Amino acid sequence: MNLTRRHAALLAAALGASFLSPAVAADFPDRPVRLIHPNPGGVIDTMSRVLADALKSVWSQPVVVEPKPGASEIIAIEAVTKSKPDGLTWFFGTETGLVNNSFLFRKLPYDPAGDLVPVSELFAVNYALIVHGDSPARTLADLVAIAKKDPGKLRFSSLGTGSGTHLAMEIFQRVTGTQGMTHVPYKAPAQMVQDLLGGQIDIVIGALGLATPFVPSGKMRVLAVTGNERQRALPNVPTFAESGYPGMDYRTLIGLAVARGTPADTVQKIHAAVRQVLSKPEMQEKYLDPNGYQLVVSDPAAFAQTLAARRQQTKRLFEELKIEPQ
């Protein structure tokens, strides 16, 4: 069969296209992505929007941020697990939803270990212990003395029973011998910040970024941070270990997951794009250091291993703290 040069070129193009994998033949994403998270008004909200905006430089499709707060991240995760497993709906949240809820609730509308596909641990987050700028506690030792003198007087916030912020304060009370503080749970970090500024609560423990906007004006004071070293944004604030409490070293993780059944090549595409934008040098200086975040961006397999290890650690921690499932 004789072919003209034009026909040969067309045939070659057709044959080449027929051997392309679906991942290559169809660009991902071909529609807008939904990035669902559980914490409006906090650092997670900020970082989700930073990530969404940065991905515009990689993809032609927008990433739309959808906060769905409440119920220990269950509402946000359920929206993801019920979505079509096409990689276009993401969960951006903490180990509260990815790990802790397994031991906090007798029944869940999702299986943290089975209904979500890990994409990447994005950040490791050291915690800061924050008080109002007018608090009589100028140091961590002051706070411990006040708490011991009048057990039950101090009120601390959390993002719900069994959340990382709650567990951190329970550990703090245990290692400092200050049991009896009043626990006040909240749905969103912004509410915690507002009530700390208003005097309705005495202590907030969470990401450093909750405090850094208010420290220069004196409206908030950070007494200590978890981790092995001081935070770059507040180098004068000691670690808990420096302050005499090395046992207070709790930290949380923030990760990305999609619905079960999402194709493996799609998961890898998401991870590659996220790694590309978060690894840019300006991210560290502008967003990570001020919030006390450590960049991780692990691959899906490594993140799955991390979550499995954290489930074992959290199970032991719940047993030690005698936190019973609800």
DSSP 99: I
- Do 210 and 134 sit in the same domain of this protein? yes
What does the block give as tokens for 107?
């029944």
Cα–Cα distances in angstroms (integers) from residue 192 to residues 35, 179, 184, 206, in the given order: 23, 21, 9, 10
Q: What is the pLDDT of residue 19?
A: 36
Q: Is 4 contained in some domain?
A: no
Domain boundary among 223, 251, 279: 251
Straight-line distance from the first to the last Cα atom of the chain, in angstroms, rounded to the nearest whole number: 75
Q: Is 9 contained in some domain?
A: no
Q: pLDDT tens digits, residue range 185-206?
A: 998 899 999 999 999 999 999 9
**Residue 313: exposed, middle, or buried by beta-carbon count in 10 A (0-12, 13-18, 19+)?**
exposed
Q: What is the pLDDT of residue 100?
A: 95
- Do 179 and 228 sit in the same domain of this protein? yes
Domain boundary among 204, 228, 251: 251
- Do 169 and 257 sit in the same domain of this protein? no
Q: Is 15 contained in some domain?
A: no
Q: pLDDT tens digits, residue range 83-125?
A: 999 999 999 999 999 999 999 999 999 999 999 999 999 999 9
Whether residue 7 has pLDDT greater than 60? no
- Do 130 and 247 sit in the same domain of this protein? yes
User: Apex CA 206: angle with CA 205 and CA 208, to 5°?
Assistant: 115
Whether residue 3 has pLDDT greater than 90? no
- Do 241 and 138 sit in the same domain of this protein? yes
Q: What number is the average pLDDT over the span 173-189?
A: 93
CATH at residue 217: 3.40.190.10
Q: What is the pLDDT of residue 42?
A: 81
Q: pLDDT tens digits, residue range 122-139?
A: 999 999 999 999 999 999
Domain boundary among 224, 251, 278: 251
User: Apex CA 141: angle with CA 137 and CA 142, to 5°?
Assistant: 25
Whether residue 5 has pLDDT greater than 60? no
Cα–Cα distances in angstroms (integers) from residue 301 to residues 212, 262, 265, 274, in the given order: 34, 15, 13, 15
- Do 166 and 107 sit in the same domain of this protein? no
Whether residue 151 has pLDDT greater than 60? yes
- Do 257 and 222 sit in the same domain of this protein? no
What does the block give as tokens for 46?
């900020």
- Do 41 and 71 sit in the same domain of this protein? yes
The total domain count for the chain is: 2
Going by C-alpha positions, the residue among 42, 29, 22 that lies closest to residue 258 is 29
- Do 139 and 246 sit in the same domain of this protein? yes
Whether residue 14 has pLDDT greater than 60? no
- Do 101 and 164 sit in the same domain of this protein? no
Q: pLDDT tens digits, residue range 221-266?
A: 999 999 999 999 999 999 999 999 999 989 999 999 999 999 999 9
> Residue 116 sits in which domain range?
32-123+252-321
